[in-house]
Structure 1
């Protein structure tokens, strides 16, 4: 199966081919390099992986198409899509969002910075709130140009997954 993965901060997604070799073994091709992976899901949800003989303990947290990956104390945010999802995104790329937009916490974490206040005019893509989750800061951005009409995020507070933080109208 072919997927496209884009690390946070990268401009282009790279193709990743995954082929089952039976059981817990897979052949993974990334950037024209092939790896043999043996992946065993542990009771608590983490995955123990042997990649070409090197052992890794990996934890994943999915949020839609985005996956938080914790390996060796480092967190990476990866946007993952198959070919169908990529085509659907491309087909809807020209449309802009309308109406009230609610910005929710992408995962449990802590609000470390609030970048706007109620009544502020914001541009599409402008940072609204910074949430720290899995030892990584994530800036949540406005999906549209508009006005901040509701602000529930408060610096220093813990938030649950999908907690309502900001409303832009």
Structure 2
């Protein structure tokens, strides 16, 4: 199966081919370089990987098309899409959200940082609030350009799944 991945800060998506070899073994090709991977699920959200003889423990969480990983103390956020999803995104690219947008907590966690204030003008994709969940920080971004009309998030407080954090109009 072919996927396209893009880490934060990357300009271009990278093609990744993943082929199952059976019994938790895979052939992974990234930018033309091939790796042999043995994968074992340790528990929910954690994999033990053996990549060309090197051992890695990887903690991960999925948030829509984005996958957050923790490998050897380093956190990475990667957008992952197959060819069909890329075509759908391109087709939807000309549409934008309108009206009042309420940004909700994607899962239970703790508000680490509030990046905006009431009355502030924001751009589409601008960070609004950072929530820590499952040992990973998630920056929640504005789905549209507009003005912040309400801020419910307070730094250091715990939030439940779907808690209101910020409103952009």
TM-score by length of 1: 0.89
Mapped pair 1:82 → 2:82 = yes
Q: Aligned partners of 2:114, 2:45: CA distance in 1, in Å?
A: 32
> Could you say which residue in structure 2 is the equivalent of 1:70?
70
State the partner residue of 2:28. Answer: 28
Displacement after TM superposition at 1:160 (Å) = 3.6
Q: Measure the CA separation in 2 of the matches of 1:45 and 1:126.
A: 28
Counterpart CA distance in 2 for 1:133 and 1:8 is 19
**Aligned residue runs from structure 1 range 82-101, under 5 A:** 82-101=82-101
Structure 1 residue runs without a partner (length 5+): none
Structure 1 residue 118: deviation in Å?
2.8
Does 1:152 find its partner at 2:141? no
State the match for 1:40 in structure 2: 40
Summarize the alignment of residues 104-119 of structure 1 with structure 2, pairs less than 5 Å apart: 104-119=104-119
- Counting only pairs closer than 5 Å after superposition, residues 131-142 of structure 1 correspond to structure 2 as 131-133=131-133, 137-142=137-142
Taking the aligned partners of 1:48 and 1:127, their CA distance within structure 2 comes to 32
- Which residue of structure 2 aligns with residue 53 of structure 1? 53
- Distance of 1:55 and 1:115 partners within structure 2: 37
1:149/1:168 contact within 8 Å kept: yes
Q: 1:31 to 1:119 in 2, by over 3 A?
A: same
- Report the secondary structure of 2:131's partner residue: strand
Residue 102 of structure 1 deviates from its aligned partner by: 1.7
The CA RMSD measured in Å over matched residues stands at 2.0
SS at match of 1:91: helix
Structure 1 residues 144, 28: closer, same or farther in 2, change over 3 A? same
Q: Secondary structure at the match of 2:49?
A: strand
| 1:44 to partner: Cα distance | 4.2
Could you tell me which residue of structure 2 aligns to residue 18 of structure 1? 18
In 2, Cα distance between the equivalents of 1:150 and 1:60?
31
* Distance change >3 Å, CA 2–CA 101, structure 1 → 2: same
1:95-121 CA distance string (max 9 Å, x none): 111122121234443323223233333
Cα contact 1:63–1:107 (8 A) shared by 2? no
Matched residues in 1 for 2:34 and 2:4: separation? 16
Give the 3 Å change call, closer, same or farther, for CA 45–156 of structure 1 in structure 2. closer
